Amino acid sequence: MPDDGSKSGVIPALGLHEVSKSFADARGRLSILDGASVSIKPGEMVALVGPSGAGKSTLLHIAGLLDRPDSGEVAIGGYACAKASDRMRTRLRRHAIGFIYQFHHLLPEFTALENISIPQRVGGQTAEVAMERGAELIEMVGLSERATHRPTALSGGEQQRIAIARALANSPLLLLADEPTGNLDPKTAGAVFEVMRTVVSETKLGALVATHNLDMARSMDRIVTLSDGQIIDVTE
């Protein structure tokens, strides 16, 4: 079973235990994950690397409860989710998990601040509370002066910082990022990464970040790689 904290005394933000997943293709079934296990502690930032097609996005989708594994367990904050009801998984996804993608997916008709407050509104918060929380978060990513701008009026790096703030709206305990700086030039990527790093250490959430950027991977707490469907810890 996933580490429930009984050994280390700390409940992992994310525990994947022997997760397997295959997809059907023209030639039959294609095994993507084959007994992948990893545990991420609160406040820990872990890089997920591996060649294109290795299964990084598949793994993040399973960790983020957007997809179910064929077998194995997924624990969010120690809560076993692989066989939980859809309703419970949706609740956990909304309240315990934040996502950042390669493309920001901000809604163009809303301002930066409104975009950040949307997850709280969807979660049932009042507009007032959601906007207050949004103001706190937009300050955390250093963009208070851009609050009323629409996404098209922001640079790529600013859009991604707003997406980071949005991912934190419901104070998740787990942050999942799928090549969050993959679409940015190196300098902007570095700045966006620093923002992510700061929020992870300030909020004590656990983060799993798929990246092709080796400098970025090396500056995280730990690097794991996907190889033949399994997760190998490659940190020296």
Q: Which residues bind Mg ion (CB under 5 A)?
A: 56-57
Angle at 41 between CA 119 and CA 9, to 5 degrees: 125
Distances (CA, A) of 168 to 27, 54, 207: 41, 28, 12
Examine residue 50 and tell whether it contacts ligand ADP (CB under 6 A). Answer: yes
23 binds, among Mg ion, ligand ADP, none (CB under 5 to 8 A by kind): ligand ADP
123 binds, among ligand ADP, Mg ion, none (CB under 5 to 8 A by kind): none
Examine residue 133 and tell whether it contacts ligand ADP (CB under 6 A). Answer: no
Give the largest Cα separation in the chain, rounded: 54
For ligand ADP, which residue of 2, 12, 15, 55 counts as binding (CB under 6 A)?
55
User: Rounded distance, CA 58 to CA 229, Å?
Assistant: 11
Distances (CA, A) of 48 to 52, 108, 218: 12, 30, 11
User: With CB under 6 A, what is the number of residues at the site for ligand ADP?
Assistant: 10
119 binds, among ligand ADP, Mg ion, none (CB under 5 to 8 A by kind): none
Q: How far is the CB of 56 from Mg ion (least distance, A)?
A: 5
- The DSSP letter of residue 54 is S
User: Rounded distance, CA 65 to CA 79, Å?
Assistant: 12
Q: How far is the CB of 113 from Mg ion (least distance, A)?
A: 30
Examine residue 64 and tell whether it contacts ligand ADP (CB under 6 A). Answer: no
39/57 with CB nearer Mg ion: 57
Burial tier of 23 (Cβ tally within 10 Å: 0-12, 13-18, 19+): exposed
Distances (CA, A) of 165 to 10, 152, 171, 181, 226: 26, 17, 10, 15, 28
Q: Which stretch binds ligand ADP (CB under 6 A): 50-58, 73-81, 110-118, 167-175?
A: 50-58
Examine residue 53 and tell whether it contacts ligand ADP (CB under 6 A). Answer: yes
170/211 with CB nearer Mg ion: 211
56/94 with CB nearer Mg ion: 56
User: Rounded distance, CA 117 to CA 94, Å?
Assistant: 13
31/144 with CB nearer ligand ADP: 31
* Interacting residues with ligand ADP (CB under 6 A): 23, 32, 50, 52-58
